[in-house]
Amino acid sequence: MLLIACPWCGEREELEFHYGGQAHVGYPANPEGLTDSEWAEYLFVRDNPKGLFAERWSHAAGCRRWFNLIRHTVTHQILAVQSNRPVAAGQPKPVIP
Amino acid sequence: MTAENLPTLHALRRSPIGHLTDVLAEHSAAGRRSVRLREVPFLAQLDLQLHQHGSAAFDRIASALGEPLPTTPNTAVEAGDLRVLWLGPQEWLLIGPDGSAPATADLLRAALGDEPGSLVDVSANRTTLELAGPAARQVLEKGCALDLHPRSFGPGRCAQTLLSKVGVILHQVDAEPTYRLLVRGSFAQYLADWLLDAMVLL
Amino acid sequence: MNRLSDGGRVDRSAPLRFTFDGVQYTGLRGDTLASALLANDVLHTAPSLYRGRPRGIATAGVEEPNALVQIEGPGAEPMRLATTVELYEGLSATSLRGRGRLDPALDEGVYDKMHVHTEVLIVGGGPAGLAAALAAARSGARVVLVDDQPELGGSLLAGREEIDGRPALDWVADVRAELTAQADTRILTRSTATGYYDHNYLLVAEDRTGRPGPVRQTLWHIRARRVVLATGSHERPMVFAGNDLPGVMSAAAVRAYLNRYAVLPGRRCVLLTTNDHAYAVALDLVSAGAQVAALVDTRPRPPAELVDSARRAGIEVIAGSAVVAARGGARVQAVRIAALDAADTISGPVREVACDLLAVSGGWSPAVQLWSQSQGSLRYDEALAAFVPDEAAQNVDSVGASRGVLDLAGCLDDGFAAGARAAALAGFPVAVPPTPPTSGDGRPARPRPVWVVPGESGEPSDWSEHFVDLQRDATVADVQRAIRAGMRSVEHIKRYTTIGTAHDQGKASGVSATGVIARLLGARSPGEVGTTTFRGPYVPLTFALLAGRERGALFDPVRTTAIHPWHVRHGAVFENVGQWKRPRYYPRPGESMEAAVLRECGAAREGVGVMDATTLGKIDVIGPDAGEFLNRVYTNAFAKLAVNSARYGVMCRADGMVFDDGVTLRLAQDHYVMTTTTGNAAGVLDWLEEWLQTEWPELRVRFTSVTEQWATVAVVGPRSREVLTALAPELDVSNDAFPFMTARQILLANGVSARICRISFSGELAFEINVASWYGLATWESVIRAGEHLGITPYGTETMHVLRAEKGYPIVGQDTDGTVTPHDLGMEWVVSRHKDFIGKRSFARADTARTDRRQLVGLLPVDPAVLLPEGAQLVADAEVAVPTKALGHVTSSYRSAALGRTFALALVAGGRERLGETVYAPLADGGMIAATITDTVLYDPKGTRRDG
Ligand SMILES: [Zn+2]
């Protein structure tokens, strides 16, 4: 079981958290302006790297805050915990170290 | 609601585990393995949420309560007969004596002024179980994954976490230790049963 | 009797009677079942599983491949190892061939669980682990030391070493005393670390059988800043013809039986070794009075001082040789010895030596199982001929024999250094204690592993009595067959031969198997082959331990409403809705469910019914932007809803599929209260927080879950107004004064403050009364009293489902499954065209515009008495052979009192274009039900009843 450091509450067991999938997938600013395949990309297509992955979690059983962290998908090492703001469309995503 | 009909009204109230008062008392043990469990029903509880840190409302609330709202995560402060628990950034639970919710709510609303915020009376949402005694920590450790060692958790600390599979607000009141467990009414019977079962195993 | 007259860790003043395979014996406190059996000259275990060959006790620990037993009597347990079962008075066991038997009786034992946080966790209470614990504990850090044996000491319990000029076990006692005196140090004996998971999370199974208190076993959940693995090593068997004969035993086990249990397992012994270890064992055997017929060392030139010491004790040392075969019937009677050349082939005459015990040391395999579970890597060490820990993946160190350090002084050095380092890294710096002087084995000389001792004739494919895995009866011939079949990877060969898959998971034989594979593949070293993956648990665990106290009534949280005691008193039959207990129906004495539900439905349609609706999720949505927020999460609009008015809303995920629904009431300009489905309250709150925090943080709105703040009593039926009048005389309940989908805040006659809404999930005139939950029971009872003269009838979820289905109201999660849009439900009216909301873009996707999407329709079975099973698949053609592609499936199906017949709801491809068509439900029993597709609203389609 992972030990996840909530940016507010500190280290808690994985059981207290709700997984939110890949981070930095912002809701498109103008969904109506997207083609079906662009919209489908937003809905369904996510990265699945072997290695470092920026992902979202919510401290559901605690302070209910959403936040991002970078986890190694093989070792489960957690390298960094980040703020929860999405990246606006067109802006570069944060670089994974 | 007027003062005259309060006794009549109170006679109509049922706390979620009011029927267990005697059972809880019977299971409380003395001695080195001492642990006591009781319900503290009907405490006034208000959930307060603000929108930004260091707002004018925050300062006005501090003046009104005589104590600033705690901003250190997982800590509680006492303000008169109120206990104020940090629940999240910009969210607090104010706990007061039975019946004090309307007055406290008026105080907070006045302090909030026209700033956006949320104040909800949640007095009936949760009941309070008090677990106390030298073996209380050991009882909790049968189902709570928090580090409750005095170096990590002590009087004045609080946390929203899981006990067994039940969400609780855990608040350590003193060093004996005495813990208060705020649990949603629907889970209270299960949690009391779980605690009683754990206490038997000491 | 094989019991020695003195020595050992057994208590000769505490005899214990026990039964094995129906025969009574006596052992001593401190024995294992295996040592007690050997003391009684019982060597044999059950014969082997597949080939029925005689087998005997082969080890003295968790790596035992043969000695499976069934513990009989109350709390019977299958598949325990005689070598790890502590003897107790009255123990009854039978030998087990393969699978055991679960006791069908309820296990009355208590299985507990504990969470522990520690700075330093040390696994293993041998010399290295004790040294680590001592060093770490002196720092003031929290230390947990776990060991699987009843007493600390590890390998020292079986040896004769000295530390600091005294018997090593005196030093162990001193360490234990110092550790016990530390407030924050915890010693868990009889406790096996079975799993090493992410972020230094370990599970430790503690056996408390025979200890004070009702708890039989405790599962410790330990989260450690640093872990020190001092798990020791397992002695490897060797692979030669007849190596499975009873009387072939690990040399370490022979030494443990001699020195720890004071049992002499044989009278005339031969030792076979690849390394130094057997020499000490040989000397111990001689001093215990046994005859040592020969010591066979694979090395051509063993260390001279060892050879001299053996010869001085009268032992013949045969160097550069191996036992090429063990001979015997039920037990080893002789061994055949021959010289091996550098290529491991027989290079001289074979000589036979009589014996009744063959002690084998094939070298040491560090117990790297937990290290591997922690994702640490391994490397093959040629000098040690062993796989040892390489790179750590977590905050862990491996010390002592578990990383290949085999001498006592080295283990102490290693432990002291690692304990101090662990404490320091956890924030508690401390000096490394000095290592006391030791006696005993020095640093061992290089071993000469012989992975396959050749047979006296034939090829590897003929060597079907060279056993690699005794429990699986797998031999060199089997490995050769796997290789001939094309397997090269150790993982494939493991699965083909089943080597390493038995209860022992190849603890002792795993590396031997790798060596055999390497040899047969012609690899240069076992390092090229590698090991199989080590997975938890390290030793078998009982399911009861994993379940802990969360079984029976405590299995899962049970949620009840404030009104629950009334439901119980009035004979409700409950159903589980998520974790909630909800009344399903209230049968009268002798009444069937079907009759009760028809009666309850009739009351709600013709008179007045009452239902506990408390379990719906409730969330206060507060702030100046609350309306705007709701506009974005619901498909329909809420921003302009009037204060004290309510509206039904549907929430979709971004893919446009229905996620939740419910009625939201506006209490003030900036205050709404949302209801959610019973099972989805927490999920909806998560959903709202997600969008607010991660997409729209600029919106000034906050959420508070108030599900348990309120008790909700639904009063339903044409006569509900009369009940409300009695309950709240000050409330004008006329339709004009209190219209549908509005709310009023009022004091009830009993003084309780209530929020009353006109909401209907049945199509009938209905009111929902919300009071603070601590008044819930009293309010329910007032409603019952107020409606008594009207025959007010409590009803449960089954009736609620029938009533809503008659009106065509879907239940999210029953009539939907995450693939259904509001349009599929026929609810275009709930989808706004004017505003954006979560999921809106998806309704313009080609997939959601398909005309053959499954749509919600009503079904009327052609035979009005026949009930369609929920979940039944539907086809268009009665003659079609199944399996075939289904048109859809039945989502809800009931008997209707109002319709006087059965009916159902179903999702059917292009269903709304098929009204009037007949579809067929082929049943598992070969039957077929025909039904006509209809509109979903089967009762009061004009909606005339909701205003009374
Ligand atoms: Zn948190």
Task: Summarize pLDDT for C26-45 with one digit per residue, the tens.
Answer: 999 999 999 999 999 999 99
Q: Are strands C248-250 and B44-50 parallel, antiparallel or unpaired?
A: unpaired
Beta bridge partners of C220: C114, C204
In this structure, is residue A67 part of a structural domain?
yes
Query: Tokens in use for A78?
Result: 């957690």
Ion ligand 1 — residues with CB < 5 Å: A 6, 8-9, 59, 62-63
Residues 5-24 of chain B whose Cβ lies under 8 A from any Cβ of chain C: 5, 8-9, 12-16, 19
Q: Are strands C901-909 and C854-861 parallel, antiparallel or unpaired?
A: antiparallel
Of C163, C174, C162, C168, the closest CA to residue C137 belongs to: C174
- Does the structure's ipTM exceed the value 0.95? yes
Find tokens 């347990």 and name the residue: C77
Q: Is B115 on the interface with C (CB under 8 A)?
A: no
**b/e string for B17-51 if b means 16 or more Cβ within 10 A?**
beebeeebeebbbeeeeebbbbbebbbbbbbbbbb
Q: How many other CB atoms are there within 10 angstroms of residue C910's CB atom?
A: 16
How far apart are alpha carbons B9 and C863 in whole angstroms? Answer: 55
Are B143 and C708 a contacting pair at CB < 8 A? Answer: no
Q: Verify that B20 and B48 share a domain, yes or no.
A: no
Beta-carbon-side half-sphere exposure of residue B118 (alpha carbons within 13 Å) = 28
Q: Is A32 on the interface with C (CB under 8 A)?
A: yes
Sign of the torsion angle spanned by Cα atoms C812, C815, C817, C822: negative
How far apart are alpha carbons A94 and C874 in whole angstroms? Answer: 51
Listed in sequence order, the residues at least 6 apart from B57 whose beta carbon sits closer than 8 Å to its beta carbon are B50, B111, B112, B113, B115, B117
pLDDT in tens, C883-940: 888 999 999 999 999 999 999 999 999 999 999 999 999 998 889 999 999 999 999 9
- Among B70, B105, B123, give the residue marking a domain's end: B123
How far apart are alpha carbons B150 and B177 in whole angstroms? Answer: 10
Q: How far is CA C561 from CA B164, C19, C751, C766, in A?
A: 20, 54, 21, 21
Q: Is C667 on the interface with B (CB under 8 A)?
A: no
In this structure, is residue A30 part of a structural domain?
yes
In this structure, is residue A52 part of a structural domain?
yes
Query: Tokens in use for C64?
Result: 């035992």
In this structure, is residue A94 part of a structural domain?
no
* Dihedrals phi, psi of C736, to nearest 5 degrees: -70, -40
In this structure, is residue A90 part of a structural domain?
no
CATH of the domain at A53: 3.30.2270.10
How would DSSP label each residue in C115-127?
Answer: EEEEEEEEE--SH
Q: Is C577 on the interface with B (CB under 8 A)?
A: no
Q: How many other CB atoms are there within 10 angstroms of residue C217's CB atom?
A: 21
Find tokens 């270890």 and name the residue: C277
How would DSSP label each residue in B65-127?
Answer: HTSPPP-STTBEEEETTEEEEEEETTEEEEEESTT-HHHHHHHHHHHHTTS-EEEEE-TTTEE
How far apart are alpha carbons C24 and C38 in whole angstroms? Answer: 14
- Among B98, B123, B148, give the residue marking a domain's end: B123
- Among B84, B103, B123, give the residue marking a domain's end: B123
pLDDT in tens, B93-120: 999 999 999 999 999 999 999 999 999 9
How long a stretch of residues is chain B? 202
Q: Specify the pLDDT at position A83.
A: 60
Listed in sequence order, the residues at least 6 apart from C64 whose beta carbon sits closer than 8 Å to its beta carbon are C34, C57, C58, C81, C82, C83, C84, C504
Interface test mutation site (partner C, options B12, B46, B122, B128, max chain C beta carbons within 10 A): B12
Query: Tokens in use for C824?
Result: 């599929």
Q: Is C569 on the interface with B (CB under 8 A)?
A: no
In this structure, is residue A88 part of a structural domain?
no
How far apart are alpha carbons C905 and C855 in whole angstroms? Answer: 10
How far apart are alpha carbons A21 and A54 in whole angstroms? Answer: 9
In this structure, is residue B20 part of a structural domain?
yes
Q: Specify the pLDDT at position A97.
A: 46
pLDDT in tens, B29-75: 766 679 999 999 999 999 999 997 678 999 999 999 999 999 999 99
Helix (H) or strand (E) holding C160: none
If you compute the radius of gyration of chain C from its CA atoms, what whole number of angstroms results?
38
Of B161, B144, B143, the closest CA to residue B197 belongs to: B143
**Domain of A50?**
3-82
| C698 contacts C860 by C-beta, under 8 angstroms | no
Nearest CB among C113, C700, C709 relative to B125 is that of: C709
In this structure, is residue B69 part of a structural domain?
yes
CATH of the domain at B196: 3.30.1360.120
Of B136, A85, B142, B128, the closest CA to residue C116 belongs to: B142
Rounded to the nearest angstrom, the distance between the alpha carbon of A9 and the centre of ligand 1 is 4
Q: Is C752 on the interface with B (CB under 8 A)?
A: yes
* Dihedrals phi, psi of B84, to nearest 5 degrees: -115, 120
Count of structural domains, chain B: 2
Q: How many other CB atoms are there within 10 angstroms of residue C424's CB atom?
A: 18
Split at pLDDT 50, 70, 90, the class of A92 is: very low
* Dihedrals phi, psi of B173, to nearest 5 degrees: -95, -40
In this structure, is residue B139 part of a structural domain?
yes
Find tokens 């030093």 and name the residue: C171
In this structure, is residue A63 part of a structural domain?
yes
Q: Is C214 on the interface with B (CB under 8 A)?
A: yes
Sign of the torsion angle spanned by Cα atoms B180, B183, B185, B188: negative
Positions of chain C with pLDDT lower than 70, given as ranges: 440-441
Q: How many other CB atoms are there within 10 angstroms of residue C382's CB atom?
A: 13
Which chains sit next to B, with 3 or more Cβ pairs under 8 A?
A, C
How far apart are alpha carbons C621 and A61 in whole angstroms? Answer: 19
Q: How far is B129 from chain A (nearest CA, A)?
A: 19
Q: Helix C127-137 and helix C408-425: axis angle, to 10°? A: 30
Are A26 and C682 a contacting pair at CB < 8 A? Answer: no
Listed in sequence order, the residues at least 6 apart from C212 whose beta carbon sits closer than 8 Å to its beta carbon are none
Rounded to the nearest angstrom, the distance between the alpha carbon of B113 and the centre of ligand 1 is 28
Split at pLDDT 50, 70, 90, the class of B7 is: confident
In this structure, is residue B11 part of a structural domain?
no
Q: Specify the pLDDT at position B1.
A: 45
Torsion, Cα of C380, C381, C384, C385 (10° steps) = 40
Sign of the torsion angle spanned by Cα atoms C24, C27, C33, C34: negative
Sign of the torsion angle spanned by Cα atoms C270, C276, C279, C281: negative
Query: Tokens in use for C683?
Result: 């999920």
Q: Verify that B119 and B130 share a domain, yes or no.
A: no
Find tokens 């005459």 and name the residue: C349
How far apart are alpha carbons C867 and C593 in whole angstroms? Answer: 14
Query: Can you tell me the mean pLDDT for B158-180?
Result: 97
* Dihedrals phi, psi of C53, to nearest 5 degrees: -80, 145
Question: How deeply is C524 buried, as exposed, middle or buried, from its count of CB atoms within 10 A (0-12, 13-18, 19+)?
Answer: exposed
Of C331, C327, C169, the closest CA to residue C246 belongs to: C331
How would DSSP label each residue in C389-404?
Answer: E-S-SSSEEE-GGGGT
Question: How deeply is C69 buried, as exposed, middle or buried, from its count of CB atoms within 10 A (0-12, 13-18, 19+)?
Answer: buried
CATH of the domain at B70: 3.30.70.1520
Q: Specify the pLDDT at position C850.
A: 93
* Dihedrals phi, psi of C808, to nearest 5 degrees: 75, 20
**Domain of B78?**
44-123
Q: Specify the pLDDT at position A88.
A: 43
Are C773 and B121 a contacting pair at CB < 8 A? Answer: no
How would DSSP label each residue in A1-45?
Answer: --EEEETTTEEEEGGG-EEEEESS-PPPS-GGGS-HHHHHHHHH-
In this structure, is residue A89 part of a structural domain?
no
Chain B positions touching A61 (Cβ under 8 A) are 160-162, 167
- Taking CA atoms, what residue in A is nearest to B145? A13
In this structure, is residue B6 part of a structural domain?
no
Q: Verify that B95 and B72 share a domain, yes or no.
A: yes
Count of structural domains, chain A: 1
Q: Verify that B154 and B112 share a domain, yes or no.
A: no
Find tokens 């002291």 and name the residue: C416
Query: Can you tell me the mean pLDDT for A28-49?
Result: 95
Q: Verify that B151 and B173 share a domain, yes or no.
A: yes
How far apart are alpha carbons C32 and C34 in whole angstroms? Answer: 5
In this structure, is residue B152 part of a structural domain?
yes
Rounded to the nearest angstrom, the distance between the alpha carbon of A16 and the centre of ligand 1 is 9
Q: Is A93 on the interface with C (CB under 8 A)?
A: no
Chain C positions touching A75 (Cβ under 8 A) are 375, 393
Of C135, C32, C147, the closest CA to residue C93 belongs to: C32
Nearest CB among A32, A65, A75 relative to C375 is that of: A75
Q: Verify that B34 and B65 share a domain, yes or no.
A: no
Question: How deeply is C33 buried, as exposed, middle or buried, from its count of CB atoms within 10 A (0-12, 13-18, 19+)?
Answer: buried
Listed in sequence order, the residues at least 6 apart from C827 whose beta carbon sits closer than 8 Å to its beta carbon are C650
Q: Verify that B90 and B141 share a domain, yes or no.
A: no
Q: Is C217 on the interface with B (CB under 8 A)?
A: no
Listed in sequence order, the residues at least 6 apart from C858 whose beta carbon sits closer than 8 Å to its beta carbon are C808, C903, C904, C905, C906, C933, C934, C935, C936, C937, C938
In this structure, is residue B182 part of a structural domain?
yes
Of C218, C155, C97, C125, the closest CA to residue C503 belongs to: C97
Q: Which domains does chain C have, with CATH numbers?
A: 1-105 (3.10.20.440), 110-233+367-439 (3.50.50.60), 450-523 (1.10.10), 564-614+709-803 (3.30.1360.120), 617-705 (3.30.70.1400), 850-948 (2.40.30.110)
How would DSSP label each residue in A71-87?
Answer: EETTT--EEEEE--PPP
- Taking CA atoms, what residue in C is nearest to A62? C686
In this structure, is residue B37 part of a structural domain?
yes
Q: How far is A9 from chain B (nearest CA, A)?
A: 6
**b/e string for C240-263 if b means 16 or more Cβ within 10 A?**
bbbbbbbbbbbbbbbbbbbbbbbb
**b/e string for C437-460 if b means 16 or more Cβ within 10 A?**
ebeebeebeebbbbbbbbbeeeeb
